[in-house]
Structure 1
Amino acid sequence: MTTTSQALAKQLSRPIIEADRERARLLLLDWTGCAVAGRAEPAGVKIAAAFADEAGRCTRIGSSSASPQMAALHNGCLGNVLEMDDVDKRAVLHAAPTVIPAALAMAEHVNADAADLLDAIVIGYEATIRIGRAVGPGHYAFWHNTATCGPFGAAAAACHLLSGSDLVSALGLAGTQSAGLWQTRHESDSMAKQLHAGHAAQVGVQSALLSAQGFQGPRTILEGEQGFFKALCPGGDPQDVLADYGGWLLHETSLKPYPACRHAHPAIDAALTATDAGGPITVRTYADALKFCDRPNPETAIEAKFSLQHAVAICLDKGMPELSDFEPGVIATHAATRARVTVERSADFDVAYPAHYGASVEIDGKISTATDALGDPEVPMSLQQVREKAAGLIRHGGMDEAAANALIEAALTGSLDDYRETLP
């Protein structure tokens, strides 16, 4: 009998073409900007300090080199710090900070080339997104999908690069270590969300390395009676992992133009096209956006990034949101507009979610609507927009313009050595 993991492994072995690798390069660039910027943030500084004595040959952005496991942990944490990493809207997870750090660490560990790295990214995204789309809302109600589904994709990416590894076994080892609870979102000083991503990347690398030594994992981790879906996914079906989606799923990944929770992005898009005549402001959107982002009085940067009220107020007060608009010293400047905002659940947006992230903003009877968020496949960011986003993030992370441009070109066109040498 073929297990779900074995069937998934077969799907992950199908051909990869140059267009898939080009998409992987774009996602690599987007993640790079996020990770370089994250190194200068408090969570980034703390994760580097905690493991400062680690040694090895794999790159840790903004810190000394380390073992592949620790490099994956470090870089995985950094990529999620500023809440600007890519997202699959149907899986409701960020693949980049789990898959790319694992792929990069393993590529350095085995001296792979850029094409191998890109193929590993394609495969890792596929595994993570497929499982994320299958777990269902019962899982997402308590579990952070990036953290719980990310280890599978990180293991798949790492196994693609590591000769002698056993993907099915590694998926079992990764799945049994899956973890990450949403309670972190209810405490503004918690940095556990970043640890979720780093841990998932580390688990993937570790699982691949163990499998290459014959260290066996459970082959029925997904569908088993005490496996991942039975334990963590009420209403989820492991057979949905094998759904026919056509091409590689990294092409359906959404990029984030704004430094806020993705659930706030459709409201931002709607607000950017609204005219503020000074009256009451009503934001209507889907239930998950309210669950995570109904915060009328944010005080910290992370609370502001998870506040529909603050995001909309920024747009109406000044236009396009920037990183600085979410800093504690700036939050109060939007208090008056924020106080005019009320949020409501919309049945129409609920029905469309998660295939479509939508919201509307009503001011004095005039309604602006976004049925899809900028950066989604339906409304893609241009290459120039992605480059500009990355450049701004890289400069935010302390690199000058020339160094930022060199890193961008290396990510988009260079060899693995070119890319490594231009990282800070």
Structure 2
Amino acid sequence: MSYSPAANARPAGNPTGEPGAGPTLAQQLAAFAVDAATNGVPADVVASVGQRTLDVLGLCVAAHRLPTSAAAIGHVLDQGGHPQATVVGEPTRVSAIQAAFANGVLAHSLDYDDTHLPSVLHPSASVVPAALAAAEHAGASGELTVRAIAVGLEVAVRLGMAGYDAELGNSVFFEHGQHATSITGAMGSAVAAAIAYGLDEAGIADALGITASLASGIIEANRTGGTVKRLHCGYAAQAGVTAAQLVRRGFTGPPTVLEGRFGFFQAWLHGQFFPEAITEGLGTEWSVPGIFFKPYPANHFTHTTVDAGRAFRERGVRPEDVASVVVGVAGSTVRTIGEPIEVKRTPVTGYQAQFSGPYAFAAGLFGGGGLGTGLDDYTDALAQDPARRDLMAKVDVVADERCNKIYPFQFPAVVTLTTTSGEVLIEEVLANRGGPANPLSDAELARKFSDNVAGRLAPAIAESVSSEVLSLHTATDLVSVLTPLSTFTPQGDSE
């Protein structure tokens, strides 16, 4: 879906935001959800959902390297409860709500999950865990699960786009310091879980109405540190499953939860939103296939800077040849990857390095694994590596007018490098890898999954899981898909 709303656009369908003035936005989304769940979704959407589900599950496996992942799973196991759903890498089944939380935390923790542009949100890391947990609990078919994920992703993206201001050239959520990923992700998760549980139109609208009171997230950690952002998609997935379960028990929500005087958009965006982004083409134009996959495990704003570093490396530039570097990016991204510049030049942890423009350039120029840089290129040791620190000290991150005109449909970078001999070199990377303009191939997506599960899943098991997930729409239930992921084989042995 491509949408550029006019400033201060009026609500579609129910302009007053009051009952009785036509179907509300939540009711329109609910009708769309039931139609898709009943009648199916396009073939390209089905294929995309399979790829995104595989991507998320691979990320969940890979995230077990983090101490925060162990903490989140330990927290979940302490809660007890009925064995309803699977946590990736944990043989003890837990409640669906807790499984959604744990897998949501795992999926987003490496900052390697997909991104929709220009809404600048990561929809799969919450929607997929929520849908899988609810579907496993409900005994839903793979076909219904795929439809639930597709609709949940679409809802999350469309609500995110309702907060995208074309004149501002940015997400209003982001401008307010709000994490649209978790805020609209919770709403998409609610719809996905509601479909998996078999709720009708009224029930899905009620799930949205309840989840709006649970959706949250702020992004200050992107700037100055802290691991709280890793929790955001877990809370979003948990909120969606919780809301759907509560609706099954009789709780209801306001029909005008989105556009109402005291509703979702008033609370988050002070009432300035673009509802046509929610309703225009709903059911006929799908955003899901156009969501960007991430080739590198870092904040998406940094990816074109990595690519510029890789391009200089291919031109024969060595770190010791560099006198200075100016990374030109969209102004809206400077505060995330370039401020405070002293912090961004001296990340202490691999997690801080994921949000550093100077580190991104260093990672590209030094060269890495995976599809260009991999998980092993974002470690605490490399963040503090003296050679990389020396290079990062020479990197400035500034706003670039050309990049401003492209953002947020891409996250471009124009990088100017001056060598120690005085030569000035420029690399322009104006489109991200992994999006429609420069997609990752099936082989590259398969490489990403295999890299993510290496050392934890035996190759034969990884291949079987990949096959099962990519054909999820044909599965009778989720048991054969998720059970192999509940226990890791040490070092991925085939024994």
Match of 1:420 in 2: 482
Does the 8 A contact of 1:34 with 1:79 survive in 2?
yes
Answer yes or no: is 1:200 the counterpart of 2:236: yes
Residues 314-370 of structure 1, C-alpha deviations (whole Å, 9 max, x = no match): 211225322122111122141222222111101121121111221122123221111
Does the 8 A contact of 2:86 with 2:483 survive in 1?
no
Answer yes or no: is 1:179 the counterpart of 2:213: no
Map 1:67-106 to 2 at 5 A: 67-106=95-134
- Rounded to whole Å, the distance in 2 between the matches of 1:164 and 1:383 is 35
Does the 8 A contact of 1:176 with 1:221 survive in 2?
no
Does the 8 A contact of 2:182 with 2:235 survive in 1?
yes
- Rounded to whole Å, the distance in 1 between the matches of 2:244 and 2:29 is 16
Answer yes or no: is 1:323 the counterpart of 2:350: no
Question: What secondary structure does 2:345 align onto?
Answer: coil
Answer yes or no: is 1:370 the counterpart of 2:429: yes
Match of 2:415 in 1: 361
Match of 1:310 in 2: 359
Question: What secondary structure does 1:5 align onto?
Answer: helix
- Rounded to whole Å, the distance in 1 between the matches of 2:51 and 2:162 is 26
Aligned amino acid, residue 131 of structure 1:
L
Change (3 A) 1:363 1:183: closer
Output the aligned Cα RMSD: 1.7
Measured after TM superposition, the shift of residue 184 of structure 1 is 2.9
Map 1:254-265 to 2 at 5 A: 254-265=292-303
Aligned amino acid, residue 309 of structure 1:
P
Match of 1:267 in 2: 305
Question: What secondary structure does 1:65 align onto?
Answer: strand
Match of 1:114 in 2: 142
Question: Scaled by the length of structure 2, what TM-score is found?
Answer: 0.82
Residues 33-77 of structure 1, C-alpha deviations (whole Å, 9 max, x = no match): 111111231111000111214241200112221111111111111
- Rounded to whole Å, the distance in 2 between the matches of 1:164 and 1:61 is 26
Does the 8 A contact of 1:159 with 1:167 survive in 2?
yes
- Rounded to whole Å, the distance in 1 between the matches of 2:345 and 2:65 is 28
Q: Which moved more, 1:122-131 or 1:241-250?
A: 241-250
Change (3 A) 1:40 1:328: closer
- Rounded to whole Å, the distance in 2 between the matches of 1:335 and 1:183 is 24
Aligned amino acid, residue 272 of structure 1:
R
Measured after TM superposition, the shift of residue 105 of structure 1 is 0.7
Q: Which moved more, 1:178-187 or 1:163-172?
A: 178-187
Q: Which moved more, 1:79-88 or 1:39-48?
A: 39-48
Does the 8 A contact of 2:400 with 2:414 survive in 1?
no
Out of 152, 163, 172, the position equivalent to 1:138 is 172
Match of 1:58 in 2: 85
Aligned amino acid, residue 159 of structure 2:
I
- Rounded to whole Å, the distance in 2 between the matches of 1:193 and 1:318 is 27
Does the 8 A contact of 2:222 with 2:355 survive in 1?
no
How many residues are aligned here? 422
Out of 44, 59, 76, the position equivalent to 1:19 is 44
Does the 8 A contact of 2:304 with 2:413 survive in 1?
yes
Does the 8 A contact of 1:229 with 1:238 survive in 2?
no
- Rounded to whole Å, the distance in 1 between the matches of 2:481 and 2:300 is 28
Match of 1:300 in 2: 349
Measured after TM superposition, the shift of residue 139 of structure 1 is 1.8
Measured after TM superposition, the shift of residue 88 of structure 1 is 0.4
Answer with 1 or 2: which has the greater Rg. Answer: 2
Measured after TM superposition, the shift of residue 254 of structure 1 is 0.4
Q: Which moved more, 1:323-332 or 1:300-309?
A: 323-332
Measured after TM superposition, the shift of residue 186 of structure 1 is 3.9
Residues 242-272 of structure 1, C-alpha deviations (whole Å, 9 max, x = no match): 2337522111110001111001011112222
Measured after TM superposition, the shift of residue 381 of structure 1 is 0.2
Aligned amino acid, residue 48 of structure 1:
I
- Rounded to whole Å, the distance in 2 between the matches of 1:110 and 1:30 is 23
Q: Which moved more, 1:252-261 or 1:228-237?
A: 228-237
Match of 1:386 in 2: 445
Q: Which moved more, 1:279-288 or 1:151-160?
A: 279-288
- Rounded to whole Å, the distance in 2 between the matches of 1:85 and 1:44 is 16
Residues 3-22 of structure 1, C-alpha deviations (whole Å, 9 max, x = no match): 11112223333441333211
Match of 2:469 in 1: 411
- Rounded to whole Å, the distance in 2 between the matches of 1:306 and 1:70 is 28
Match of 2:402 in 1: 348
Residues 72-97 of structure 1, C-alpha deviations (whole Å, 9 max, x = no match): 11111110111101110212111111
Does the 8 A contact of 1:229 with 1:237 survive in 2?
no
Q: Which moved more, 1:350-359 or 1:300-309?
A: 350-359
Out of 195, 205, 209, the position equivalent to 1:168 is 205
Aligned amino acid, residue 237 of structure 2:
A
- Rounded to whole Å, the distance in 1 between the matches of 2:279 and 2:309 is 38
Change (3 A) 1:363 1:184: closer
Question: What secondary structure does 1:273 align onto?
Answer: helix
* Unmatched 5+ stretches in structure 2: 1-21, 165-170, 339-343, 419-423, 487-495
- Rounded to whole Å, the distance in 1 between the matches of 2:482 and 2:148 is 17
- Rounded to whole Å, the distance in 1 between the matches of 2:381 and 2:86 is 34
Question: Scaled by the length of structure 1, what TM-score is found?
Answer: 0.95
Measured after TM superposition, the shift of residue 187 of structure 1 is 4.3
